[in-house]
Structure 1
């Protein structure tokens, strides 16, 4: 580098760091947060936000930011200009005003603080960025000037030199002149013994100075002054023994100077050389005519060009591969200095931006470049420093991120964001085709039976199945159509230019047929699923994205309810049904347990003894506007929206409380039955919840019976383990509505059950000789063989009672004995309960 900078000019200003630390002083919190977001988007670090003068100074003193953005009017928080005066004059921190005030008085008052910039609100982001960078550049130049001034002052002090004189006869060393580096006295001179002087320098220097005791001896050494002190003070000492012609007489005189700064500077230059050689960014030193004077190893690695190949070449002739929209640092539009052959320069600026560079082998790569001037002592451009880094990996990552932002990671189909964009585009085209409204169809598709495959074969198999289904969807669609995976096993398909419902239904049938085909999975037998599809058309079924999706969703649920593996087109009837469901859903969210939602209790009767032996908790809802709503309508909705857990926890607590009151009345209690949903069983800590409820009310566990449906047992992972824990707790377990589900008899074999409840659909026609009677006989035989107890549900007639008693079933519930009763009526019920003569009346 020396041959390029001869004589060496002052060190060039250091480029503005990429991550400058900035403090915001703004009394309006929203403005401050918005400004903080803008600064961070520009790559700066916001190290503090203050709303008052005092807080601004506290933060600045503790964190020392590189720059402070200051609002002049801080309201009750104080005066921004007064804070700026302290920051600039005492803390040497640059301040840029960001204010809405431009009155002469305000400008005059702000100008007295010598700010580093003044921006009027509102301002553009690029104005803010440019002002900040210029302020930081100015402060960096000031720092360079301060260091240069310090070095200049030290050079003057060094010119004064410290003088040392040794008198052998007194064994004293007199020190005069510039003695400040010795830090022993503030006077112009002082004396100390030779022994004390030698103790303040290093051993090697002592040995060299010992030669001065001989006539004609001389010494030149560099030593630490007081070797143990930190930071060290380095002295350069030159001394000679001058003889005065009289034997045994003479003087030892020398000079010394503080070279600590010089040695540190040399160390910095060595470090700078290491940085130049080892920097990851490519660095090129250019002259005023853009000719290459030096390159670092990273330049060769990044471009393939060696120093021998490019030395003296105009960098513009081989490196830039300018695209049409590029702003390269060397063209006139870049606002960069133009320097003539004599080195005169009107202006100099720093340029940075993205360009396209050419590798030696001809391939192109994007680069982020930074071009900075090097000015000589007269402020003229002497050299330029070009740095750049290959950002190909960054651009590839951005492309990938862009793709991931709008596509499903598993299937490669569009995601919700992609759907929103496409719907805005489709709906936005309405009315732009010569008065003909845009027409398209939205298909909402949900796979049937996917959860069973996912739970049985594992999520890996489920993911592979979704990928195969996605491929089939893509094969069935046109290039103008859009397929999206919403999540899980839900898909949405947008069909463009659909003018007839038949066109949408034809494609729906095609999709259903493709999905029904067996799917080949690696290492497994083929699996098959079906789908339910809801169809909505724009604009007939909705003029907004949300309305259209809701319409298709409602149609899809109707297809599922109708048997699955089919499609449904949205209609007004489905709209009414959806509104009714929404009304129930919203009502459930507002309903209060114990007020609108309450428990009624249906007595459980021993028909042989005609005694009430327990009761089952049944949820009832009295809607304030709709009146009484059947559990068949609101319980499934509560399951879907996740409220069933709260309802079930409350019902369990009420059952335990009622059981204690029942026992306190002295009446026999065999069981209080509470229905348990799949969501409750899947909830971590459910067994502990049951145990806590029993303990809180003091109910014996044997008095509590939890009723679970067959489908619940099938859908709950580790259900056998959970039921085992409940059984060990002492609670009884029953299968409700037995015979109506799709479970296998292995449930009875592997699960720790106590009771089967015969569904009322089999009891209804029991007095007739037919299939229902045969089914009940089989259930009775099965329960007897497995040692399980039985309860018949829905007993409404005396004939049903007599048949059940003949079959060996004594426990029953039904209107033959009592409807479900409020708690007070249940507690007042007689222990002995004869059948109602009116039957189901």
Structure 2
């Protein structure tokens, strides 16, 4: 097959004839075919013309205007031209203006008058088809241009400076918040969308000057949304117009902003960051990487982190990452600096995936957690140690006890272990009188002495306050424990020089318990040592005691006593008895002291010497004290209602009551509630109460301001400074019965009683002697100018009813 036969012959031009005169139509067909045209068909009516053209799609339609009964050729031409987009040439014998006007509406490509000259028709057809081809090229170019604008989402603008208006076309929907279409907008209406006035003025100046505009600016749409608009425009002199494009670049601006932010984060973050390729070789690093490791990024480019950063140490958790692994990994790992020093790091490795799901890079981040591990170590120390002394705390004691118990159970040959419970004697008085800072110094020094004395495996613990426990490892006998106990007592009792230059000293009571002889659990062992400590304290303090079942029974009795005391008020077991206060000169009853009694439902009468100290220790003295105050006021109100005059009524108060906020106010409210004068009430406090600081002193001043009298009970038996009497609003001193008992036979008691009486008289204080039981005591006291006494010589403490009868009898 040769080249010529292989080339396809050109397709003949296809023409449709619309003519109602068939003879003319056939003749025309013959002439056209002779010229090489292909006639697709002949239509004789308006409808046939449209249907045939739609079916055959010819290259050109020759249309007669007057189709007779077949209709109007101009209407058919309009449909063929506008709907089917086919070129039309009119063949007609009519050329009137009205016909011509209707024919032009179809935008014909020629108008040939009959009779037709075939040469002229051929030229007209060729010219029409050439025009069609050019228009087709133009439409194709315009379509490509519009599709390109649509694909690029470009808008087109033309600015006519003379008319000061913009012609807009193209993709304007995202820019003006309305569908894309061609329209015209005024100069000011266009520029007002630009947010920044400086940019608006600059663009205006460039447009009017015919200069190039290239700008990216904030654009406010008609719906209020803010976008970023890119404008590129130039002046074309031949058109005398500024032509350019508009484009919504909000996504790009946002992406650039995100990239800038990411770059700032990359360079300023405190974490080291390395960008790795698919083979995990370093491509990039940040400043934090250089600061943390000492490596410069240029030194490690192309290397794997395992080659220079990760330290290979046994026990480290290793990170194994397969190629194309798309899972993020976080792990704690040991890293190496450039100087070969090691540091713990928290490291993360995250894959970077492109849009098609393919792994392109890894991002490795790490931070030095040395400070965190140091803090964790300190926190662990804090969690297990006392902040003041540095000794262990309760938590460490619990851990060590359970560890020793488990070890003793598994290794019988090693024997058990011991526990010492240490409580400092009188530490609260030191704390209250000398201040907490001095008390803290004592505790720190005692803890230091423990550390220098104990064995390496022994554990010293501060339970809180002035209580310590010492866990003795592998203790074999109570004799060994007592030997250490004596050594510790000697250490504790050594004087301590404080930072304020004052020397203080104290003693301790120590309880000893052994495992497994005295307990079979941690809690029971601590309880046993605590019980033994109380036994040592009860035996006189500054000594040690070993736990025994007898001590356990006494501890149980104490617990039962405490529980019974808690229920005593509810069960109505408490009672006030009144001991009269007598005027020695005439024997008159001038007052009475309320004495608390407890009638236990099962055990009968319980001595105040047993339950009052217990109430002080447990804090039960507070509700009991409130009950005593209320009951005493109620009794006084009853006697007042009966017309009896009991005189001054005294009740005892503790330091805990005086330390309560608002105690003086509650006393005033109780007196007012029962209609009593404050001068009827006298509150008796002990010398130890005066050593509880400013709170007690403030309460005393408030009580005295109410008009309540204040008496210092058992004067001379405590350790209070005599100078304190000068600053306290006391009204009475009470000489303790211990000085009255041997008043007639012991010169020392006589001297003490005389001194108290003289001192009270000098300071303007009243004096009352307690425990007067003989006539000779009465005579001596009269000689000492003591006027008021209490005691069995006159009356014991009496129940309310008996005391009432006494008042009635003496009225």
Specify the TM-score bucket, using the shorter chain as the normaliser.
Answer: 0.7 to 0.9
CA distance in 2, matches of 1:756, 1:196: 102
Structure 2: distance between partners of 1:682 and 1:225: 74
Query: 1:676 Cα shift?
Result: 1.0
Which range moved further: 577-586 or 785-794?
A: 785-794
Contact 1:179–1:189 (8 Å) recurs in 2: no
Structure 1 contact 610–833 (Cα < 8 Å) conserved = no
d(CA) in 2 for partners of 1:213, 1:468: 91
CA contact (8 A) 1:211 1:217 kept: yes
Correspondence list, 1:349-748, <5 A: 349-434=327-412, 438-522=415-499, 524-592=501-569, 595-717=572-694, 719-748=696-725
Equivalent positions of 1:316-327 (< 5 A) are: 316-327=306-317
Q: Deviations over 1:371-429 (max 9, x none)?
A: 11123344332221111010000001111111111111222211111111111112223
Q: In 2 relative to 1, CA 198–763 (structure 1 residues): closer, same or farther, beyond 3 Å?
A: closer
In the TM superposition, residue 606 of structure 1 has moved relative to its aligned partner by 2.9
For 1:833 and 1:765, locate their aligned partners in 2 and report how far apart those are by CA, in whole Å. Answer: 31
**C-alpha distance in structure 2 between counterparts of 1:740 and 1:492, whole Å:** 33
Q: Secondary structure at the match of 2:472?
A: strand
Match of 2:410, SS state, is: coil
Shift of the alpha carbon at 1:629?
A: 1.3
Conserved 8 A contact 1:285-1:385: yes
For the residue of structure 1 that corresponds to 2:798, the secondary structure is coil
Please identify, of 474-483 and 386-395, the stretch whose mean Cα deviation from structure 2 is larger: 474-483
Q: Which has the larger radius of gyration?
A: 2
Give the structure 2 partner of residue 271 of structure 1.
261
**What is the deviation of 1:508?**
0.7
State the 4+ residue runs in structure 1 displaced beyond 6 angstroms.
167-170, 227-230
Alpha-carbon distance in 1 for matches of 2:199, 2:724: 94
Query: Offset of 1:504 from its aligned partner?
Result: 0.7
CA distance in 1, matches of 2:174, 2:677: 91
Q: Is contact 1:300-1:306 (8 Å) kept?
A: yes
How much has 1:318 moved relative to structure 2?
0.9
In the other structure, the counterpart of 1:313 is 303
**Structure-2 separation of matches of 1:769 and 1:464:** 43
Matched residues in 2 for 1:483 and 1:784: separation?
53
Q: Distance in 1 between matches of 2:521 and 2:640?
A: 59
Question: Alignment partner for residue 228 of structure 2, among 224, 234, 240?
Answer: 234
1:787 to 2:764 alignment:
yes
Instruction: Mark the CA change 1:475 to 1:237 in structure 2 (over 3 Å): closer, same or farther.
Output: closer
Per the TM alignment, residue 197 of structure 1 is displaced from its structure 2 partner at its CA by 2.0
Which segments of 5 or more consecutive residues in structure 1 lack a partner in the other structure? 1-153, 339-344, 835-841
1:213 Cα deviation after fit:
6.8
TM alignment of 1:12-23, pairs within 5 A: none
- CA pair 794-555 structure 1, distance change in 2 beyond 3 A: same
Task: Give the whole-Å Cα distance in 1 for the aligned partners of 2:628 and 2:560.
Answer: 23
The answer (yes or no) to whether the contact 1:678–1:716 under 8 Å persists in 2 is no
Alignment partner of 2:807: what SS? coil
- Whether 1:176 aligns to 2:169 is yes
Q: Specify whether residues 285 and 605 from structure 1 end up closer, same or farther in structure 2 by C-alpha distance, changes over 3 A only.
A: same
In the alignment, the residues of structure 1 paired with residue 491 and residue 782 of structure 2 have an alpha-carbon distance, to the nearest angstrom, of 53
Q: 1:615 to 1:238 in 2, by over 3 A?
A: same
Aligned 1:159-238 pairs, distance under 5 A? 159-165=152-158, 172-183=165-176, 185-186=178-179, 188-201=181-194, 204=199, 208=203, 219-226=213-220, 232-238=226-232
Is residue 518–residue 528 contact of structure 2 (8 Å, CA) maintained in 1? yes
**RMSD between aligned residues:** 3.0
1:171 deviates by 5.6
Cα drift, residue 744 of structure 1: 4.5
What whole-Å deviation, never above 9, does each CA across 1:578-634 have from its counterpart, x for those lacking one? 111101111122232581223222232334333332221222222222222111111
Instruction: Note the residue ranges of structure 2 that are not aligned, 5 or more in a row.
Output: 1-146
Label 1:787 to 1:253 Cα distance change in 2 as closer, same or farther (>3 A): closer
Separation in 2 of the partners of 1:499 and 1:597? Answer: 49
1:476 to 1:212, Cα distance in 2 relative to 1, 3 A: closer
Question: Contact conserved, 1:351 with 1:371, CA < 8 A, in 2?
Answer: yes
- Say which SS state the counterpart of residue 156 (structure 2) adopts: strand
User: Relative to structure 1, is the Cα distance of residues 243 and 660 closer, same or farther in structure 2, using a 3 angstrom cutoff?
Assistant: same
Change (3 A) 1:192 1:590: same
Deviations 1:321-357 (A, max 9, x none): 032232333xxxx3x232xxxxxx4x42211111111
Q: Which moved more, 1:653-662 or 1:279-288?
A: 653-662
Contact 1:607 1:810 in 2 (8 A): yes
In 2, distance between residues paired with 1:237 and 1:563?
100
Of 453-462 and 412-421, the range deviating more from structure 2: 453-462
Matches within 5 A, 1:247-266: 253-266=243-256
Secondary structure, counterpart of 1:431 in structure 2: helix
Change (3 A) 1:420 1:222: closer
SS of the residue corresponding to residue 829 of structure 1 reads helix
Asked if the contact 1:427–1:438 (Cα under 8 Å) also holds between the matched residues in 2, the reply is no
Q: Is the 8 A contact 1:354 1:368 kept in 2?
A: yes
CA contact (8 A) 2:271 2:288 kept: yes
- How far apart, CA to CA, are the structure 1 residues paired with 2:160 and 2:356? 49
Change (3 A) 1:350 1:666: same
Q: Residues of 1 paired with 2:513 and 2:722: CA distance?
A: 42
Judge conservation of contact 1:319–1:358 (CA < 8 Å) in 2: yes
Question: Could you say what secondary structure the match of 1:413 adopts?
Answer: coil
Corresponding position of 1:292: 282
Check whether the contact 1:162–1:255 (CA below 8 A) recurs between aligned residues: yes
Q: Tell which deviates more after alignment, 367-376 or 217-226.
A: 217-226
User: Is the 8 Å Cα contact of residues 429 and 438 (structure 1) preserved in structure 2?
Assistant: no
1:158–1:257 Cα contact (<8 Å) kept: no
- Note the C-alpha offset of 1:827: 3.1
Q: Cα gap change, 1:219/1:430 in structure 2, threshold over 3 Å: closer, same or farther? A: closer
